[in-house]
Amino acid sequence: MSPVQDARRRAEFEQLVAQAYEPLQRFLRRRTDPATADDVLGDVLLVLWRRVDEIPAEAPVAWSYGVARGCLANHVRGSVRQERLVERLKQEPAGGPALGAEHEALDEAMAQLPENDRELLRLWAWEQLAPREIATVLGITPNAASIRLHRAIGKLKELMGRPATGGAARGETERGAGA
């Protein structure tokens, strides 16, 4: 690799780290205990460096979440850490405002959802991603991300006894547009 290429790759890596370092810590600590999050962050940085040529111009941070997801899955696979992860996800939000009955109902409803749905909802509400970015994280089409998120929201509302909102009717003519 030429020094020029090397410098370019390095600059791209540093740029991504500048954008993603803090969000990645939040992403990991939302999904595992602090010690594991710390371990995995190191792995993630290494993989990001190795894959620096693949960083998409669009949604680089969401892409790095996808990398982090993979690293975390590998880290907890088949280990006792899996249990710690589950424990972690049941924890109370840290230092937030006092939670009311509505939050409790939501928390309970979340707990009843399959993990796939919970992850979609976290990416949407915690990482604040749009369906297109969620698609990048999960490695699925934007269209599929929209549909799955819609279904997950629907299930959540059902569990909370809320009426479903009529989202499905709004975009029928645009299905798959720009995907």
Spell out, one character per residue from 29 to 58, where the chain touches another protein: x when CB under 8 A holds, - when not.
xx----------xxx-xxxxxx--x-----
Which one of residues 102, 115, 161, 163 is an interface residue with another protein (CB under 8 A)? 102
In the complex, what is the shortest distance from the CB of residue 35 to another protein, in angstroms, rounded to a whole number?
14
61 near another protein, judged by CB under 8 A: no
Write the CB contacts of 143 (distance below 8 Å, at least 6 apart in sequence). Answer: 135, 175, 176, 179
Whether the Cβ atoms of residue 52 and residue 13 lie closer than 8 Å to each other: yes
Residues from 146 through 165 that contact another protein (CB under 8 A): 146-151, 153, 156-157, 162, 165
- Binding of another protein at residue 5 (CB under 8 A)? no
Size of the site for another protein (CB under 8 A): 79
Among 2, 3, 4, 18, binds another protein (CB under 8 A): 18
Distance CA 71, CA 47 (A): 9
Q: Is 91 in the site for another protein (CB under 8 A)?
A: yes
Site for another protein in 116-135 (CB under 8 A): 121, 124-126, 128, 130-132, 135
